[in-house]
Amino acid sequence: MVARIIPVPSFDLTVFGGTGDLARRKLIPALYRRMRDGQAPRDARILAAARSDLDDAGFRAMAREALEEHVPAAERPAEDMDAFLAMLGYVKVDAMGTEGWDALAERLADQPDRPRAFYLSVAPSLFGPIAERIAGAGLGGPNTRIVVEKPLGRDLEGARALNAQLAEHFDESQLYRIDHYLGKETVQNLMAIRFANALFEPVWNARHIDHVQITVAESLGVGGRGEYYDRSGAMRDMVQNHLMQLLCLTAMEPPNMFDPDAVRDEKLKVIRALDPIGPGHIGTDTVRGQYRGGPLGPSYVEDAGDPDSHTECFVALKAEISNWRWAGAPFYLRTGKRLRARMSEIAIQFKAPPHSIFEGETCHGNTLVIRLQPDEGITLKMTVKDPGPGGMRLIETPLDMTFAKALEGRGVSMPDAYERLIMDVIRGDQTLFMRGDEVEAAWAWVDPIIAAWEHSGAHPQPYDSGGSGPEDALMLMHRDGRRWREIA
Ligand code: BG6
């Protein structure tokens, strides 16, 4: 059970691409869990819309399989499974044509006042055509919400075109652009830590912070999705969205309230304050990599199916924010596949005390680490006295809070990001979704970097599978007299 469930109203959710991988792995299990916890009412309707020749019974059988695969047996009592499967239906719809739209409108006609969400779990080239047809079928009233997910373009121009297509039929207040990182508990906790505690705000700036490190390391390679991934690369797949969002939440000014536009305005200001990384700095401030083959599996280029691929599956970069709070305290970002461990964290490195009164002992700066996954929690590395009679010796010790442990006994579980995000769509709360201008601003910063890489023609640097990335990524920090934290 998740503590303090606030039920959402009865709703109709139509998932285009509802038989696809995301629906099976994430959306169906997420909706099942929300129903089971009493948050999603049992009279809500969840329709899959796709091209296959299926009917309600066929889709229910598919959803049952998905739940059996992705939800532990202990959480699948027959009564709950039956109740959930009864909420599901299927409509065969041609996203680019006319077939099925009347049938869909008919299925939804008897509940015109419910929140009506359309989740477009399809290729972005279908966003425009589907939005047009939803509106054309008379399904685009004020209670309609459109949910889309990356890739939201592969550059600024593409993102603008997608935003324009959606804007032709829907108002920005009806658009829910998912970045699933914003649905992660600890990412939301970052805002609680910053803005619900007065302790950190006075020192949350370049006067007290030396630098920030944001790491999203993955241990898996690109495996089966190599061909798809090779058209995107780590910059488009991870940095433009997930890492950028983490940077924004860490760096933004306190919004005046936890309200969608107040939060998104502040994030946007951060992106706009990022110093552009021009061709002159590409060599020093960015590093790209590709994993080598080894005991953990084939090399990146083999996974990608292109021996000459120039696509990066590792990126490290130094981002500088030109504003009063952050000038002089860089943000180092890094993400990559097939690294030593799956580890995502934000580490705030505070400055060292200006002077040590303990002879022969160095006082280090404190580090506040916000662990996003796994083992979600916070660690504050403190300097304390090494116990014993041997004089004033200092050691660094973590003050550690693992959320699962600290909040034990409160009936808390860490819900999957999609559980939170889908419920927010139904509630009509856009706070954890990206606004169109945010997405465009992120592309505007990322595009010149990608262009400079392409222009240089340089090959991403090879790195060992199971390691911590290319040598040059270490150099990027060493040059500034700093060091990456261990990936472990
Ligand atoms: C996705 C990327 O958005 O995020 C994947 O497309 C990546 O390449 C995934 O593996 C990481 O998400 P998480 O939640 O496992 O950290």
Task: Examine residue 219 and state whether it is found in any structural domain, yes or no.
Answer: yes
Same domain assignment for residues 130 and 210? no
Q: 102, 130, 149 — which closes off a domain?
A: 149
Where on the phi/psi map is residue 297: left (φ > 0), alpha (ψ -120 to 50), or beta? left
Are residues 83 and 207 located together in one domain of the fold?
no
Ligand 1 atom closest to the CA of 417, numbered from 1: 14
Ligand 1-lining residues (CB < 6 angstroms): 218, 237
Handedness of CA 334, 335, 340, 344 (dihedral sign): positive
Q: In this structure, are strands 116-120 and 12-16 parallel, antiparallel, or unpaired?
A: parallel
Q: Are 251 and 323 in contact (CB under 8 A)?
A: no
Alpha-carbon radius of gyration of the chain: 24
Q: Is residue 161 part of a domain?
A: no
Shared domain for 238 and 372, answered yes or no, is yes
Would you call 455 a catalytic residue per the annotation?
no
Q: Is residue 250 part of a domain?
A: yes
**Residue 63 placed within a domain:** yes
Q: What is the distance in A from the centroid of ligand 1 to the CA of 218? A: 8
The amino acid present at 269, given as its one-letter code, is K
Please check whether residue 474 lies inside any domain of the structure. Answer: yes
Please give the model's pTM, rounded to 2 decimal places. 0.95
Give dist(CA 230, CA 302) in Å, integer: 11
* 196 shares its domain with 342: yes
216 and 87 assigned to the same domain = no
Whether residue 218 is found in the same domain as residue 324: yes
Q: Which of 21, 180, 346, when mutated, tests ligand 1's pocket best, judged by the most ligand atoms within 8 Å of its CB?
A: 180
Is residue 106 one of the residues assigned to a domain?
yes
In a domain, 297, yes or no: yes
Domain check: are 316 and 372 in the same one? yes
CATH of the domain at 69: 3.40.50.720
- Encoding tokens for residue 2? 């998740």
Task: Please indicate, yes or no, whether residues 187 and 142 belong to a single structural domain of this protein.
Answer: no
- Contact assessment for residue 298 and residue 456, using Cβ atoms and an 8 Å cutoff: no
Q: Are residues 143 and 278 in the same domain?
A: no
Burial of 340 per CB tally in 10 Å (0-12, 13-18, 19+): middle
pLDDT at position 411 is: 62
Check whether residue 365 and residue 303 sit in a common domain: yes
Does residue 176 contact residue 411 with C-beta atoms inside 8 Å? Answer: no
- Separation of alpha carbons 135 and 139, rounded Å: 5
| 113: in domain | yes
For 286, phi and psi rounded to 5 degrees?
-135, 150
End-to-end CA distance of the chain: 31
Q: Which of 242, 310, 459, 478 is catalytic?
A: 242
Q: Residue 410's pLDDT is what?
A: 67
Q: Which residues, in sequence order, are CB contacts of 449 under 8 Å at separation 6+?
A: 235, 277, 282, 286, 317
The pLDDT value given to residue 427: 97
3 state DSSP class of 100:
coil
Residue 91's Cβ-side half-sphere holds a number of Cα atoms within 13 Å equal to: 22
pLDDT per residue, tens digit, the chain (488 aa), is 445 788 999 999 999 999 999 999 999 999 999 999 999 999 999 999 999 999 999 999 999 999 999 999 999 999 999 999 999 999 999 999 999 999 999 999 999 999 999 999 999 999 999 999 999 999 999 999 999 999 999 999 999 999 999 999 999 999 999 999 999 988 999 999 999 999 999 999 999 999 999 999 999 999 888 888 999 999 999 999 999 999 999 999 999 999 999 999 999 999 999 999 988 999 999 999 999 999 999 999 999 999 999 999 999 999 999 999 999 999 999 999 999 999 999 999 999 999 989 988 889 999 999 999 888 899 999 999 999 887 889 999 999 888 777 777 766 577 899 999 999 999 999 999 999 999 999 999 999 999 999 999 899 999 999 999 999 999 999 999 999 999 99
**Structural domain boundaries, residue 43:** 12-149
CA atoms of 399 and 383, how far apart (whole Å): 10
> 217 CA distance to ligand 1 centroid (A)?
10
Amino acid 3: pLDDT: 58
Among residues 134, 149, 164, the one where a domain terminates is 149
* Paired strand residues for 371: 345, 377
276 and 213 in a single domain? The answer is yes
**Distance from the CA of 192 to the center of ligand 1, in angstroms?**
24
- Of 149, 173, 198, the domain-final residue: 149
Report the number of distinct structural domains present in the chain. 2
**CATH number of the domain bearing residue 241:** 3.30.360.10
Do residues 137 and 68 share a domain? yes
**pLDDT at 1 (0 to 100):** 42
Q: How far apart are CA 203 and CA 198, in angstroms?
A: 10
30 close to 63: Cβ distance less than 8 angstroms: no
Tell me how long the chain is: 488
